[in-house]
Amino acid sequence: MISNLDYATLQQLWWVICALIGALFLFLNFVQGGQTLLWQMAKTDTESALIVNSLGRKWELTFTTLVLFGGALFASFPKFYATSFGGAYWVWVLILFTFIIQAVSYEYRSKPSNVWGGKTYELFMFINGSVGVLLIGAAVGTFYTGSSFSLNDMNQVTWQYTIGGVNLRGLEAAFSLFNLSLGLFLVFNARVLGALYLLNNIDFSTVSELEVRLRKAVWTNFLCALPFLLFVVVSILLRKGFGVDADGVVSMVSFKYFFNLIALPHLLLMLLGGIGLVIWGVLAGAFKNSDKGIWFAGFGTVLVGLTVLCLPAFNGTAFYPSTFDLQSSLTIYNASSSQYTLSIMTYVALAIPFVVGYIAYLWKLMDAKKLTVEEALDEEAY
């Protein structure tokens, strides 16, 4: 069956798969959000231990999803991988650094003789959860705002943006109001998800004040996220987009993303449904004493993420546009791997449900009982 799929279908399928992995990563950013809540929420060492150990059982899933997201993009859209990573160098290097320092922090934070002290590792977690997520948002924002690059005959990238003769290599993305707003929305949304996850995962029987603080944090962080979300959504609907005609010529099109939503109503439904689910999750977590908010808000985040990543890629749109040379812009049709490679990878992707299945099984198995203070203070705990 897969061998019968035409090239364009495979390209679209792989963009959807990559977008889905990216959207799942945004959901799993509850780990990053939880990390930024640590100092604010935990008033005692016991509460700190609970938060860190609760997040510590999941950090690797988020990390691995990021690695898979990178790997999937490399494999299916290598021109994007080469152009964006090589071009917007500093954005990706800084994101990378925040994840390097996160990866050791859980394991080393409470170990004796960890040299730099537990607070340093907690600071690493905070940087990962704030700067890392902000920059990821800025990088995703360039799908809408574009980047200043050109490609030559051999598809080698030259980054063109300079200030005072200095080439910022992608850092300029973080200074765009739209990109920054998207980044800040993701930071606050991750904090909402982090608080909801902790409410779901921790046994609060001996730390009831922590639960109160977390429920409050769900609401306040949602309120902080809201203006940025509104700004991003309105900007997307009103801004000019990078349209591609039947001959592959790229031009600026007014209200391009608005028309994309109209032309692709399932994306509109996903966006509205996703926002609705996030709000449902927030209300359940903040006001209804529920511990199930993470599932609604998490699923909602996946739907919103999927929409944000698919909207600039379909209906004749360049997903990685160049503002310097419109014709260097990348579409899912000119940036993808060959038909043969995409077919092979599609066979491999048939295993995804199996992988998701055993992850869900282990998650359920390990979280069947909520995390207790005793477990969090165990000698081998984080």
Partner 1 sequence: MIDVDPSLVNWSRAMFAFTAMYHWIFVPLTLGLSFLCAFFETIYLKTGDEQWKTITRFWMTLFGINFAIGVATGIILEFEFGTNWSNYSWMVGDIFGAPLAIEGLFAFFMEASFFAVMFFGWDKVSKRFHCFSTWMVAIGSNLSAVWILVANGWMQNPVGMAFNPEQARFEMESFAEVVFNPVAISKMTHTSSSGFVMASAFVLTISCWYLIKRRHVEMAKRSIVVASVFGLVASMFVGFTGDEAAYEVAQKQPMKLAAMEGLYIGERGAGLVGMGIINDAKAPGDVQDAFLYEVKIPGMLSLLANREFGSFVPGIDDLVWGNEKENIMGVNTMMEKGRHALSDLAAFKEAKRAGQEDAAAAALERFNVNQKYMGYGYLDTPEEAVPPVAIVFNSFHIMAILGSLFPVIFGAFLFFTVKGNITEKRWLLPVGLFTALLALLAQQAGWVTAEVGRQPWAIQGLMPVKIATTNLSTTSVQITFAMFAVVFAMLLFAEISIMLKQISIGPEGH
Residues 160-179 that bind partner 1 (CB under 8 A): 167, 169
- The answer to whether residue 83 forms part of the interface with partner 1 (CB under 8 A) is yes
- The answer to whether residue 366 forms part of the interface with partner 1 (CB under 8 A) is yes
Reading the block at residue 67, the tokens are 């690695």
The single-letter DSSP state of residue 370 is P
The single-letter DSSP state of residue 380 is T
- The answer to whether residue 111 forms part of the interface with partner 1 (CB under 8 A) is yes
| Of 9, 46, 114, 323, the one binding partner 1 by CB under 8 A | 114
Beta 166-167 vs 162-163: how paired, if at all?
antiparallel
- The answer to whether residue 89 forms part of the interface with partner 1 (CB under 8 A) is yes
Minimum CB–partner distance for residue 180 and partner 1 (Å): 22
Beta carbon nearer to partner 1, 116 or 287: 116
Minimum CB–partner distance for residue 84 and partner 1 (Å): 7
Beta carbon nearer to partner 1, 127 or 193: 127
CA distance 31 to 125: 9
Amino acid at 25: F
Q: Which residue has the tokens 């503002």?
A: 323
* 301: CB partners within 8 A, 6+ apart: 23, 26, 27, 189, 193, 274, 278
* 274: CB partners within 8 A, 6+ apart: 299, 300, 301, 302, 303, 304, 305, 306, 307
Q: How many helices (H) and strands (E) does the chain have?
A: 17, 6
Beta carbon nearer to partner 1, 6 or 153: 153
- The answer to whether residue 380 forms part of the interface with partner 1 (CB under 8 A) is yes
Q: Which residue has the tokens 């897969």?
A: 2
- The answer to whether residue 84 forms part of the interface with partner 1 (CB under 8 A) is yes
- The answer to whether residue 157 forms part of the interface with partner 1 (CB under 8 A) is yes
Site for partner 1 in 318-357 (CB under 8 A): 337-338, 340-341, 344-345, 348-349, 351-352, 355
CA distance 369 to 376: 13
| Of 103, 226, 326, 377, the one binding partner 1 by CB under 8 A | 103
Amino acid at 127: I
Measured distance between the N- and C-terminal CA atoms of the chain, rounded to whole angstroms: 47
Beta carbon nearer to partner 1, 1 or 166: 166
- The answer to whether residue 369 forms part of the interface with partner 1 (CB under 8 A) is yes
| Of 87, 129, 146, 183, the one binding partner 1 by CB under 8 A | 87
Beta carbon nearer to partner 1, 1 or 208: 1
| Binding region for partner 1 (CB under 8 A) out of 82-90, 184-192, 229-237, 308-316 | 82-90
CB 232 within 8 A of CB 145: no
Instruction: Label residue 195 exposed, middle or buried (CB < 10 Å: 0-12, 13-18, 19+).
Output: buried
The single-letter DSSP state of residue 152 is -
**Cross-strand pairs, 242:** 252
Minimum CB–partner distance for residue 321 and partner 1 (Å): 18
Site for partner 1 in 195-214 (CB under 8 A): none
Beta carbon nearer to partner 1, 117 or 276: 117
- The answer to whether residue 305 forms part of the interface with partner 1 (CB under 8 A) is no
- The answer to whether residue 364 forms part of the interface with partner 1 (CB under 8 A) is no
Beta carbon nearer to partner 1, 106 or 320: 106
CA distance 76 to 78: 6
Minimum CB–partner distance for residue 113 and partner 1 (Å): 4
The alpha carbon dihedral of 177, 95, 294, 54 has a sign of negative
Site for partner 1 in 21-80 (CB under 8 A): 57-58, 60-61, 63-64, 66-68, 70-72, 74-76, 78-79
